[in-house]
C-alpha cells in the first residue's frame, strides 16, 4: 500500500470536513498536500494547523492575505490565492488524489485541472459534471484519470457494478438503475404550503447534514435532477434507464437491476464518510468512523414515486439532459442563482423552478463544443436568471 497525497478542494465545507475526518483516522495511508477554501480564512487556518499541508489556497487574493497573517508562525505552508492557484494545486505533481468538493460551477475549472493531470479524482462536485457532461467524460478518457463517484447514490451504484463495466452497463447485463431520493424536508407539503417555507426549514434536512446549497437542492428535488444527469454521464446510460425512487429512510443509497431479475443495493447509515472512505481507499475498505447499521431500529423501508407536479425541478433537469448541448449548463446556472436568491430571502421557494424554466426558455441552446462555450453560457444564463428573479422578487 503506497501512501496517497491529497489535495482537498473545498476543505472547509461539509464534504471537505468529512474527508478530513476519514484522513485523520489513517495517518499511515494519507497525507495532505493541499487544502483550499472559498472565503473563510480562519476555518482553513485551523485545518492547516492540524493537517500541515504544503500549500493552502483561498479563492481570492484578499482571503489569501488574511490566511497569510493567520499562518505567520507557520512559514512551511505556502499560501496562495485565486482561481489559477486552485487549478495549480489540483494538478500539482506532488499530489495523486484530488477531492473535488467545491460547491457549484466554481468547482469546474479546478476539477477539470485534476482530471487533465490524470489524478484519482473523487467527484463530489456534481455541478461540474452536469455543466460539461460529455466534454468532462472525454477529458477523463483522454488523460486516464481515475474518476470515482462520491455522491452517495452514485457511489452506491458504482459499488453494485462490476468495476470494469462502469461505463458499459449493457455489457454487464444491467437493465436499470434505481436512484433513491429522500424526498427532502417537504416531501409531504402541499403545493400551497411550499410557497411559504423558509431557508432555515429548507436547510434542515431530515437525514443528511450538508452545505446550504445542496440542502435547498434536496428540498426542491433539483438535487435528484442533477444526480439523474450525473448518473447518465458516469454510467453511460440514458434517463429512461434511471428510475427515481423516493425512499424516506435514506438507508438504501441506490440500486442496480440486472437482466436476470437481481437487484443489488448498497445500504448504510446516511453518513458521507462511507462513500468518501470508499473513494479514498478504493479498492481497499477502511474504517470510516461510521456507526454500524442497525436495521432492527429502522424496522421498515418505504418507497414512493416522485411527485413532479409539486417538485418540477426533477422534470426540468431530465428535459435539459434530453435537450442536450448547453441546456444542462443553463439549468445549473439558473438553479445556482435562484437558490442564492432564496437563501438571501429574495425569492420564494416555489419560484425556484419558475426562474429555472424561464431562464431555460430565454437562453438559446448551442452545441457544447468547448469548455469556453460552457463558461460563456453559464455567465449568460446567470444574467438572465437575475433578470427573471428581479421580476418576481419578494
14 is in an annotated binding site: yes
The verdict on 45 binding ligand NAD (CB under 6 A) reads no
Return the DSSP state at 304. Answer: B
Please give the distance of CA 72 from its chain centroid, rounded to a whole number. 33
Over the window 320 to 359, marking each residue x when it contacts ligand NAD by CB under 6 A and - when it does not, the resulting string is ----------------------------------------
125 is in an annotated binding site: yes
Please give the C-alpha separations between residue 178 and each of 11, 160, 224, in angstroms, as whole numbers. 31, 11, 12
Residue 383 DSSP SS3: helix
Return the CA Rg of the chain: 20
Looking at residues 147 to 176 of the shown chain, list those that interact with ligand NAD (rule: CB under 6 A).
151
Q: How far is the CB of 110 from ligand NAD (least distance, A)?
A: 8
Q: How far is the CB of 381 from ligand NAD (least distance, A)?
A: 17
Phi then psi for residue 290, to 5 deg, are: -90, 135
Which is nearer to ligand NAD, 17 or 393 (by Cβ)? 17
Rule CB under 6 A: choose which of 15, 35, 229, 318 binds ligand NAD.
15
The verdict on 14 binding ligand NAD (CB under 6 A) reads yes
> Dihedral of the CA atoms 174, 151, 233, 279 (nearest 10)?
-80
Which is nearer to Mg ion, 54 or 159 (by Cβ)? 159
Stretch that binds Mg ion, among 25-33, 56-64, 146-154, 262-270 (CB under 5 A): 146-154
Which is nearer to ligand NAD, 83 or 171 (by Cβ)? 83
> Dihedral of the CA atoms 39, 45, 50, 54 (nearest 10)?
90
Q: How far is the CB of 386 from Mg ion (least distance, A)?
A: 27
The verdict on 151 binding Mg ion (CB under 5 A) reads yes
The verdict on 214 binding ligand NAD (CB under 6 A) reads yes
- How buried is 239 (Cβ within 10 angstroms: 0-12 exposed, 13-18 middle, 19+ buried)? middle
Which is nearer to Mg ion, 152 or 326 (by Cβ)? 152
275 binds, among Mg ion, ligand NAD, none (CB under 5 to 8 A by kind): none
Over the window 261 to 290, marking each residue x when it contacts ligand NAD by CB under 6 A and - when it does not, the resulting string is -----------x------------------
102 binds, among ligand NAD, Mg ion, none (CB under 5 to 8 A by kind): ligand NAD
The verdict on 59 binding ligand NAD (CB under 6 A) reads yes
211 is in an annotated binding site: yes
Closest C-alpha among 131, 44, 129 to residue 85: 44
Q: Residue 385 and residue 113: Cα distance in Å, rounded?
A: 28
Stretch that binds ligand NAD, among 5-13, 192-200, 322-330, 369-377 (CB under 6 A): 5-13
How many helices and strands in the chain, by DSSP H and E?
A: 17, 11
Q: Residue 28 and residue 137: Cα distance in Å, rounded?
A: 32
Strands 55-58 and 30-37: parallel
DSSP code per residue over 69-97: HHTTT-TTSEEEESHHHHHHHHH-TT-SE
The verdict on 103 binding ligand NAD (CB under 6 A) reads yes
287 is in an annotated binding site: no
229 binds, among ligand NAD, Mg ion, none (CB under 5 to 8 A by kind): none
Beta carbons of 92 and 33 less than 8 angstroms apart: yes
Q: Residue 381 and residue 45: Cα distance in Å, rounded?
A: 35
Rule CB under 6 A: choose which of 71, 202, 210, 381 binds ligand NAD.
210
Contacts of 74 (CB under 8 A, 6+ apart): 48, 49
The verdict on 208 binding ligand NAD (CB under 6 A) reads yes
State the residue number with the nearest CB to ligand NAD: 13
Strands 263-267 and 252-258: antiparallel
Beta carbons of 181 and 155 less than 8 angstroms apart: no
How many C-beta neighbours within 10 Å does residue 248 have?
A: 18
Which residues define the annotated binding site for NADPH?
A: 12-15, 38, 125, 127, 211
Chain residues that interact with ligand NAD, rule: CB under 6 A: 10-16, 37-38, 59, 101-103, 106, 124-127, 151, 208, 210-211, 213-214, 272
Which residues define the annotated binding site?
A: 12-15, 38, 125-127, 151-153, 182, 205, 211, 218, 223-224, 227
Chain residues that interact with Mg ion, rule: CB under 5 A: 151-153
Amino acid at each position: 500500500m503506497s501512501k496517497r497525497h491529497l489535495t482537498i478542494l473545498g476543505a472547509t465545507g461539509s464534504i471537505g470536513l468529512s474527508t478530513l475526518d476519514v484522513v485523520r483516522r489513517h495517518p499511515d495511508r494519507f497525507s495532505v498536500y493541499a487544502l483550499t477554501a472559498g472565503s473563510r480564512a480562519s476555518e482553513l487556518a485551523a485545518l492547516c494547523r492540524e493537517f500541515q499541508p504544503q500549500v493552502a489556497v483561498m479563492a481570492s487574493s484578499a482571503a489569501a492575505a488574511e490566511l497569510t497573517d493567520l499562518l505567520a508562525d507557520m512559514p512551511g505552508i505556502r499560501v496562495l490565492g485565486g482561481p489559477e492557484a486552485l487549478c495549480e494545486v489540483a494538478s500539482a505533481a506532488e499530489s495523486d488524489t484530488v477531492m473535488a468538493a467545491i460547491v457549484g460551477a466554481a468547482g469546474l475549472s479546478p476539477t477539470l485541472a485534476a482530471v487533465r493531470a490524470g489524478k484519482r479524482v473523487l467527484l463530489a462536485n456534481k455541478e461540474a459534471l452536469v455543466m460539461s457532461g460529455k466534454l468532462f467524460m472525454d477529458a477523463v478518457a483522454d488523460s486516464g484519470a481515475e474518476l470515482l463517484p462520491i455522491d452517495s447514490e452514485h457511489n452506491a451504484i458504482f459499488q453494485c457494478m462490476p468495476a470494469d463495466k462502469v461505463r458499459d452497463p449493457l455489457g454487464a447485463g444491467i437493465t436499470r438503475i434505481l436512484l433513491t431520493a429522500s424526498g427532502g424536508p417537504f416531501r409531504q407539503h402541499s403545493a400551497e404550503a411550499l410557497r411559504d417555507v423558509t431557508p432555515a426549514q429548507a436547510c434542515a434536512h431530515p437525514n443528511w447534514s450538508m452545505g446550504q446549497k445542496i440542502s435547498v437542492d434536496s428540498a426542491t428535488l433539483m438535487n435528484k435532477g442533477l444526480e439523474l444527469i450525473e448518473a447518465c454521464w458516469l454510467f453511460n446510460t440514458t434517463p429512461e434507464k434511471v428510475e427515481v425512487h423516493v425512499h424516506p429512510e435514506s438507508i438504501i443509497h441506490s440500486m442496480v437491476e440486472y437482466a436476470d431479475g437481481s437487484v443489488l443495493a448498497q445500504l448504510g447509515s446516511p453518513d458521507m464518510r462511507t462513500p468518501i472512505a470508499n473513494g479514498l481507499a478504493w479498492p481497499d475498505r477502511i474504517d470510516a468512523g461510521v456507526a454500524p447499521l442497525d436495521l432492527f431500529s429502522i424496522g421498515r423501508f418505504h418507497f414512493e414515486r416522485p411527485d413532479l407536479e409539486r417538485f418540477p425541478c426533477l422534470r426540468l433537469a431530465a428535459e435539459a439532459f434530453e435537450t442536450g448541448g448547453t441546456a444542462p449548463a443553463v439549468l445549473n446556472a439558473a438553479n445556482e442563482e435562484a437558490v442564492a436568491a432564496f437563501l438571501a430571502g429574495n425569492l420564494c421557494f416555489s419560484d425556484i423552478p419558475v426562474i429555472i424554466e424561464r431562464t431555460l426558455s430565454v437562453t438559446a441552446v448551442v452545441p457544447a463544443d468547448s469548455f469556453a462555450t460552457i463558461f460563456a453560457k453559464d455567465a449568460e444564463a446567470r444574467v438572465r436568471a437575475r433578470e427573471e428573479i428581479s421580476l418576481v422578487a419578494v
